[in-house]
Amino acid sequence: MRLPYLRKAAPTSLATARAQHWDPAEVVRARLQEEAVGRDAATFADEPQERFLWAL
């Protein structure tokens, strides 16, 4: 897996984790959450607006 959104946010999230002394499991959870949010945003950005109107 390439995890582009995780790599993009890595410098800031790792700096925060070091400064706040996060548990390693918390670091992994936060980084995977960033990847999921990025993928969702990319997926829904391609959806045509009409599709959502028909769902109503």
Segment 3-56, tens digit of pLDDT: 999 999 999 999 999 999 999 999 999 999 999 999 988 887 766 655 555 555
| pLDDT on residue 42 | 85
| pLDDT on residue 14 | 94
Token representation of residue 25: 């499991």
Q: Report residue 5 CA to chain centroid gap.
A: 6
| pLDDT on residue 50 | 58
Backbone angles phi, psi at 49, to 5 degrees: -65, -30
- Sign of the torsion formed by the C-alpha atoms of 44, 47, 53 and 54: negative
- What is the distance between the alpha carbons of residues 8 and 27, in angstroms, rounded to a whole number? 15
Tokens 């959870």 -> residue:
29
| pLDDT on residue 44 | 78
pLDDT level of residue 1 (50, 70, 90 thresholds): confident
